Amino acid sequence: MNTARPPIHPWRLILASASPRRRQLLQGLDLPVEITSVEVDETPPEGMPVQEVAEHLARKKALAWTGDLASDQVLITADTTVVLGEVLLNKPVDEADARRMLGLLAGRTHHVHTGVCLRHMRGMLSFTDVAAVSFRAMTEAEIGYYVERYRPLDKAGAYGVQDWLGHTTVERIEGSFYTVMGLPLHRVYSALHGLHP
Amino acid sequence: MNTARPPIHPWRLILASASPRRRQLLQGLDLPVEITSVEVDETPPEGMPVQEVAEHLARKKALAWTGDLASDQVLITADTTVVLGEVLLNKPVDEADARRMLGLLAGRTHHVHTGVCLRHMRGMLSFTDVAAVSFRAMTEAEIGYYVERYRPLDKAGAYGVQDWLGHTTVERIEGSFYTVMGLPLHRVYSALHGLHP
C-alpha cells in the first residue's frame, strides 16, 4: 500500500455517528478518523420548516458532544432527512409504516437533505446538501419483498440507496450519491479546506 | 437471514466481466449470478460516434461468448466509456496519461455511458444508460496524490466514482450512480422483467 498523504491540511477527524454507512464514507477521505457517538432527541422543533431539520439536528448533535477537541481535531456530526413535497419521512416505526413510506415514494421524486456540522476549537460551521432522488413505480410484491428482506427500520424514508432498493428502483439522482447515503463527502472535504488550525 | 425471493421472474444470470465492481453490483439484485469472462478487442470501429461505442462493445462481448445458455439463463455483458465533449477517454496507458485525463475532467462535466447487452436463448437486447458527472476544480497535488495512491490505470477516464476521487471531487451526478460505477442495475432489472423464458 502506498503511503502518500492526501493533499490537504493536517486535520484529525472525530465522527459522532452510530451510522456504519457514515463511518465507512468518512474513512474514504484518507484522513485519521476516530469514532464516537452522541445521543440527542431527534424530534424536530414544532413549526420548523422541513428543509431546515437535518442541519438543525446536526448542530444539536455537535453541541451535545462533551469531549475535548485538540487544535488539530474536528468533530463531525450529520443528520439525513427524506422530504416528499413538504412532508418529512423519518425512520419508520414498524414494517407497516415502512411499506406505507415506500408506497408514497414509489413513482415520484423526493429530496434527501443531509445536514453536516463541523465543530473545532474556535467554533463551528454547518451546511445542508440536497439531492433529488427519483423512484420508478413499485409493485406491492416488490415493496413487501424489500421490507421483509432488508428491514429498513433504521433508515429515514425506509430505504437504503446502496442496497437492493437503490439498485433496482432508483432511476435517477440529481446531486451527490453520498448525500443520499448520509454524508456529502465532497462538501466535508471542501469545508475542511476552509478551516485553519 | 430472511429467505424471501425477489419479486421477479426465474432468471439465472451469467455475468461476463472481469470488473469486480460489476460483479459486486450484479449480486445486489438478489438473483443467482455466475461469473465468467470474455476477451474482445476493445478498439472502437473507425468513425463510430463516441456515444455508440459502449453499447457496441457490450454486444461484441456478448457475441464473443461461446458458452451454452439454458432457457432460464441470461448472459450479461457491459462496457463503460467516459466522454468529454466528443472525446472518448479510455483506460489510461500510464500514470502520466492518467494525470492528463484528470486534468481534462477537473472543473468540468463529462458523460459516462454504460452499454449493456442481455443475451438469452432466443436472442439479445442491448441499451445504453448515460449519466452526467461534474468534477470540481482539482489541484496538481490532488491529481498527483490520487494517481500515486490509487493507480487508476484499469479505469476508463482514470477515476473510480466509489473511491477517494469520487468522495472528494464529484460534486454532482445527473443520472444513475450505478451507471457511473459500470452497471445501470435498475435498467438491467427492468430489462429482465421484459424477457419471457
Which pLDDT does position A194 carry in this prediction? 81
Distance CA B130, CA B178 (A): 10
Which residues on B lie below 8 Å from A24 (Cβ)? none
Catalytic residue annotation of A: 79
Distance CA A38, CA A18 (A): 8
- Select the residue of B28, B145, B167 nearest A178 (Cβ to Cβ): B167
What are the phi and psi torsion angles at A95 (to 5°)? -65, -35
Residues B65 and B46 sit within 8 Å (Cβ to Cβ): no
- Residue B147: closest C-alpha in chain A: A4
Predicted confidence (pLDDT) at residue A166 exceeds the cutoff of 50: yes
- What number is the average pLDDT over the span B143-162? 95
- Residue A26: closest C-alpha in chain B: B167
CA-angle at B79, arms to B74 and B85, nearest 5° = 145
Which residues on B lie below 8 Å from A22 (Cβ)? none
Per the CB < 8 Å rule, is A25 touching B167? Answer: yes
Residues B102 and B137 sit within 8 Å (Cβ to Cβ): no
Which pLDDT does position B126 carry in this prediction? 96
Which pLDDT does position B10 carry in this prediction? 81
Which residues on B lie below 8 Å from A169 (Cβ)? 186
Question: Is B7 touching A (CB cutoff 8 A)?
Answer: yes
Per the CB < 8 Å rule, is B168 touching A186? Answer: yes
Q: Model-level pTM?
A: 0.89
Banded model confidence at residue B122, pLDDT cuts 50, 70, 90: confident
Distance CA A188, CA B153 (A): 27
Which residues on B lie below 8 Å from A30 (Cβ)? 149, 164
- Of A9-13, A29-33, A149-153, B7-11, which gets the smallest average pLDDT? B7-11
Predicted confidence (pLDDT) at residue A31 exceeds the cutoff of 70: yes
Q: How far is B166 from chain A (nearest CA, A)?
A: 8
Per the CB < 8 Å rule, is A145 touching B6? Answer: yes
Catalytic residue annotation of B: 79
For chain B, domains (ranges, CATH) are 12-193 (3.90.950.10)
**Which of residues A195 and B83 earns the better pLDDT score?**
B83
Which residues on A lie below 8 Å from B31 (Cβ)? none
- Select the residue of A139, A164, A190 nearest B30 (Cβ to Cβ): A164
C-alpha dihedral sign at A168, A169, A171, A177? negative
Distance CA A182, CA B86 (A): 34
Q: Which residues contact A196 (CB under 8 A, 6 or more apart)?
A: none
Strands (E), B29-180: 33-36, 73-84, 87-89, 109-120, 123-135, 170-175
Chosen from A33, A169, A177 to mutate, greatest number of chain B CBs within 10 A:
A177
Residues B111 and B129 sit within 8 Å (Cβ to Cβ): no
Question: Is B137 touching A (CB cutoff 8 A)?
Answer: no
Q: Which three cell numbers stand for residue A192?
A: 475542511
Q: How many CB atoms lie within 10 A of CB B149?
A: 18
Question: Is A127 touching B (CB cutoff 8 A)?
Answer: no
Share of chain A above pLDDT 70, in %: 95
Locate all alpha helices (DSSP H) within chain A, ordered by sequence: 20-27, 53-64, 95-105, 140-150, 164-169, 177-181, 185-194
Per the CB < 8 Å rule, is B7 touching A142? Answer: yes
Average pLDDT over chain B, rounded to whole?
A: 93
- Select the residue of B139, B167, B176 nearest A29 (Cβ to Cβ): B167
Q: What is the pLDDT of residues A80-119, one digit of tens each?
A: 999 999 999 989 999 999 999 999 999 999 999 999 999 9
B97: left (phi over 0), alpha (psi -120 to 50) or beta: alpha
C-alpha dihedral sign at B80, B84, B86, B91? negative
- What number is the average pLDDT over the span B102-123? 96
Which pLDDT does position B6 carry in this prediction? 66
Residues B38 and B77 sit within 8 Å (Cβ to Cβ): yes
Q: Which amino acid is at B130?
A: V
Predicted confidence (pLDDT) at residue B1 exceeds the cutoff of 50: no
Q: How far is B143 from chain A (nearest CA, A)?
A: 9
